[in-house]
Structure 1
Amino acid sequence: MRVVVVGGGIGGLALGAGLRRRGFDVAVFDRDTDVAATGGYHITLDGRAQSALRELVAPETVQRLLASASALRLRDRDAFWDRRGRLLGHGPDLGGDAGVDVDRITLRMLLAEEVGDDLHLGRTVSGVGRGDDGAPRVLFTDGAAPVPADLVVGADGTHSLVARHLAGGRTNSPAGIIGFSGRTLRTDLSPGERHRLGPRSGLAVGPRGAALYTGFLDPVGNAALDAPELRMSVTTGPTYIWGAMFPESPATDALRAVRDGALQDALVRRFRAQGWAEHTLEVIARADPHSVAAYRFNAAPTRATGLAPWPAGRITALGDAVHATPPTAGMGAGAAIRDAAALLRHLGEVEEGGTTTAEAVRRFEEGMRRRGSEVLTLGMRTVRLILATDTALGAAATAVTLPVLAAAARLRHQRRRA
């Protein structure tokens, strides 16, 4: 079976790696010329995503991943703050959590190695069609000869050309939030902020839809596997990978055209104007200016019936191409890896003569709809909470209730110390 994968992101590379390892004839095409030239900063892989990855790549690659990843079980409990930096509460104990965080670049490089010379970089796909024999084929912007396939898989992300072809239109829409992200070394923060933020992830919220997430990544001190000789992480010390959020508006949308230090300064000014305490903005103000970027949150429908709205056939899609998920879920990449493993299992049944390609794709898409609905529901829950504070009532309720929650948190802390 000849499988052509459009898109060399996490899902596309994971699928390509699994297909190559199982002996399929596979080709992965991506417009990037360098696998390290990728957006995003870190990816969370829960136990299910890691299990799926073990189906797709060699055991040695999994070991290198874990040696380059930061273990959630070694972090403190997540924290929640208000815009003044006052503690509102904590998340659950992570001591038994099997999840890991890994740099997106690190994971993409590991997967690309597994795909090997079946990965074709610098190739931009212009469309999908069918040959005279009805078989699907992939077309390219450079006018090169179309590549025929027994199965075409779109792993080309939120703006997927393949999914648009199948659905006859977009498969997702703006979620109402503009996000901004960056990287800040923990050592660049003041002692007070290092203590407050701690070795954990956290979320601070304020009125009018402003929120600031700080993710803690330390693949050296908090390595999931103590094997320094296998480590290849991009992050080499305790780092906060942060994400700022504001409701989409002409003002925030305009910031998407701003870059580096200018964007960094604009974010600090915007938070400051909304009454955020100065110390809570250190993580933005002291970030690497070249790491600061803006992007729009997009989301597919949360109901499974709204995902992959096309009849099963010899063209399909996976990951964000189908279930584009806001980063608030922290599960988008993991879901794409699970998609890839599921598709590989079903295609294995075709190779064994147990079913047809169309039936295998139908079964795959049924499971993908359920996975996509799960992660979208989680991601949109946080999005809706943030957007609820951007109404007159929501802003007033936030301003009133958060100080009460902070006072209650202080009281609980004092009682535990007594």
Structure 2
Amino acid sequence: MTSTASRAGTAHPTTPTAPTTDPRVLVVGGGIGGLALAAGLRRNGFDVVVHDRDTDPAATGGYHITLDTPALAALRDLLGPDHYAGLLASASAVRRRPPDVWFDHRGRLLGDLDVRGLDPDSVDVDRTTLRLVLAAAAGDSLVLGSTCTAVERDPGPDGEVRARFADGSVVRADLLVGADGPGSLVVAHLTGRPASRPAGLTGVSGRTPAGDLDPDLARRLGPRSSLAVGPRGTALYCGYLDPAGFAVLDAPLGRHAVTTGPTYVWGAMLPTATAPAGLRGQRGAVLRDTVLEALRATGWGEAPLQVVTRADPSTVAAYPFVVGPASPREAAPWPAGRVTALGDAVHATPPTAGKGAGTAIVDASVLVRELLAHRAGERTLHTAVSAYEQDVRHRGSAVVQLSMGTVRRVLATATPAGSAATRVLLPVLAASTALRGRLTGGRGTSGG
């Protein structure tokens, strides 16, 4: 068997030592990161079990997910060729769509949108599709409908760890990994405090088939992603997803995508401090109408709101933006041991950078690599976990900083001065963009 460590080209000491016993690994949380870890460990023959409170892997929402080159390389190792091919067959190629653009709240084009960290080989995939592919790769190591209520450790560096569950069962392991997202119970056990804090924005997401939009608007939005910004800390992201038309891998028989036609996956952003009361308790058409009313009250026009107006009500859901530590010193601040964590449990990331899921996947890949080094006798379990956590601190905090840049820019328009400046400057910028487009024959910007 070729190890993930050797495939990744990671240099480890090669002096042979006594063989080690593989640790029994318990993963708490079956989101993207937890399932990716379980898939990678299972593929490499580790004894692993992942418990998740959901009863159906498809019971997930949110935006679509962008996977960049590091995330795809990690998935290639974690999944193996068959599951990885199924993922690519169900994904949409970023390189096949025009560059992203941004609009104002009245629907006026402002120019091209520079998305940091988005490389040409990136792909877009439904969150549901990705989770189902990962669940299939995790196989019988996944236990659904199982809610963790407590984590316990025996004294000493080699003490056994245990997780207690709502049904009264207790699962013992040599290594316990918290993949239970923001507000992680596992991280709270390690630190005694929350792992994340509110980022200041509340999001509402949904899905709208491109064919349900007016033809003029569909042409203006185009087969690309866009961000519309407005006054009072409001914004609207529209991501274009078409796994069939923009297929990464032309393999219709292997396609598992839940999106079957061109679709806009959108997300409205509102300042949490001024969002309508009870927003997060609403669902469906009621929530959609509440968001529309809130955006119209700040001056949004009907054209950019059409993706919200014509959304499938069953897909509309609200959620808070939360954020983890932006400093490596504050990330994973516990001493290395037999309990650790990954993904949003450590570095909760707002969706504004499109990096949260990919970072959790790379976390999983790094931990698998370190455990393979432990198996080879190159590291003790303690040093393997320590090396993994050092990597996570720096990568995770960098992504948190990137995602918060957009959050801060959106919230800057929520102040009276910022809102006034937005109302004055956006029309000027839109007029300048339109003039540049006319002078260059429509070549001044992608949206010209």
The corresponding residue for 1:69 is 91
Given the alignment of the two structures, is residue 186 of structure 1 paired with residue 200 of structure 2, yes or no?
no
1:291 Cα shift? 0.7
1:131 Cα shift? 4.2
1:111 Cα shift? 0.9
1:338-396 alpha-carbon deviations (Å, 9 max, x no partner) = 00000000111111111111111111011101111121111100000000000111111
Say whether the 8 Å CA contact 1:41–1:105 is kept in structure 2. no
Structure number having the greater helix percentage: 1
Q: How does 1:273-312 map to 2 (within 5 A)?
A: 273-312=297-336
Letter in 2 for 1:3: V
The corresponding residue for 1:44 is 66
Q: In structure 2, what is the Cα distance between the partners aligned to 1:152 and 1:252?
A: 40
Letter in 2 for 1:278: E
1:220 Cα shift? 0.7
Say whether the 8 Å CA contact 2:63–2:266 is kept in structure 1. no
Given the alignment of the two structures, is residue 375 of structure 1 paired with residue 404 of structure 2, yes or no?
no
The corresponding residue for 1:114 is 137
**Percent of counterpart pairs with the same letter?**
57
TM-score normalised by the chain length of structure 1: 0.97
The corresponding residue for 2:24 is 2
Q: In structure 1, what is the Cα distance between the partners aligned to 2:63 and 2:409?
A: 24
Letter in 2 for 1:147: V
Say whether the 8 Å CA contact 1:389–1:395 is kept in structure 2. yes
Q: In structure 1, what is the Cα distance between the partners aligned to 2:119 and 2:441?
A: 25
The corresponding residue for 1:82 is 104
The corresponding residue for 2:14 is none
- SS of the aligned residue for 1:306 comes to coil
Say whether the 8 Å CA contact 1:52–1:341 is kept in structure 2. yes
Unpaired stretches in structure 1, ≥5 consecutive residues? none
Say whether the 8 Å CA contact 2:105–2:300 is kept in structure 1. yes
Q: In structure 2, what is the Cα distance between the partners aligned to 1:202 and 1:274?
A: 20
- SS of the aligned residue for 2:329 comes to helix
Letter in 1 for 2:31: G
The corresponding residue for 2:10 is none
Say whether the 8 Å CA contact 2:25–2:175 is kept in structure 1. yes
Say whether the 8 Å CA contact 2:68–2:118 is kept in structure 1. no
Unpaired stretches in structure 2, ≥5 consecutive residues? 1-22, 443-448
The corresponding residue for 2:182 is 158
Say whether the 8 Å CA contact 1:350–1:356 is kept in structure 2. yes
1:207 Cα shift? 0.8
Change (3 A) 1:254 1:67: same
Q: In structure 2, what is the Cα distance between the partners aligned to 1:130 and 1:195?
A: 58
1:35-89 alpha-carbon deviations (Å, 9 max, x no partner) = 1112324111001100011111111111111110011101111011111111111
Q: In structure 2, what is the Cα distance between the partners aligned to 1:127 and 1:226?
A: 46
Given the alignment of the two structures, is residue 124 of structure 1 paired with residue 133 of structure 2, yes or no?
no
The corresponding residue for 1:59 is 81
CA RMSD of aligned residues (A): 1.5
Q: In structure 2, what is the Cα distance between the partners aligned to 1:159 and 1:396?
A: 36
- SS of the aligned residue for 2:276 comes to helix
Letter in 1 for 2:159: G
Letter in 1 for 2:171: V
Letter in 1 for 2:54: D
Letter in 2 for 1:26: V
Given the alignment of the two structures, is residue 326 of structure 1 paired with residue 350 of structure 2, yes or no?
yes
Say whether the 8 Å CA contact 2:276–2:290 is kept in structure 1. no
